[in-house]
Amino acid sequence: DAMVIQNPRYQVTQFGKPVTLSCSQTLNHNVMYWYQQKSSQAPKLLFHYYDKDFNNEADTPDNFQSRRPNTSFCFLDIRSPGLGDAAMYLCATSRRARAQYFGPGTRLTVL
């Protein structure tokens, strides 16, 4: 089945230690998104790629970066995680600006 896959599902890191989260998709969608979701809140968009074009949200901290080496893969890099970065990170994909399909998420814990 076509899907959005996120690895790892759970990530524990230490304060200030860089971490990379990965997302892959078999839907062949041209748009990929990264969201941060904290408990009982709506997801907050960090950035998205429309094809190869990178679009950063104005309030996304510089600590967060992303890479999309090809259509299928996208990575979220957190350069120096702080306690406030502990959250669920969701990857989503869409074809153009249609419905977004979400992966299962990576729960990040910062010690």
Partner 1 sequence: AQTVTQSQPEMSVQEAETVTLSCTYDTSESDYYLFWYKQPPSRQMILVIRQEAYKQQNATENRFSVNFQKAAKSFSLKISDSQLGDAAMYFCAYTPNAGGTSYGKLTFGQGTILTVHP
Instruction: Give the binding site for partner 1 (CB under 8 A).
Output: 31, 40-43, 45, 48, 50, 90, 92, 94, 96-105
Closest contact distance (angstroms) between CB of 16 and partner 1 is 27
Q: In whole angstroms, give the CA distance from residue 7 to residue 96.
A: 24
The residue among 79 and 102 lying less far from partner 1, judged by its C-beta, is 102
Q: Report strand pairing: 19-25 vs 4-7.
A: antiparallel
Of the two residues 81 and 103, which places its CB atom closer to partner 1 in the complex? 103
User: Shortest distance, CB of residue 96 to partner 1, whole angstroms?
Assistant: 7
CA 89 to CA 35: how far, in whole Å? 6
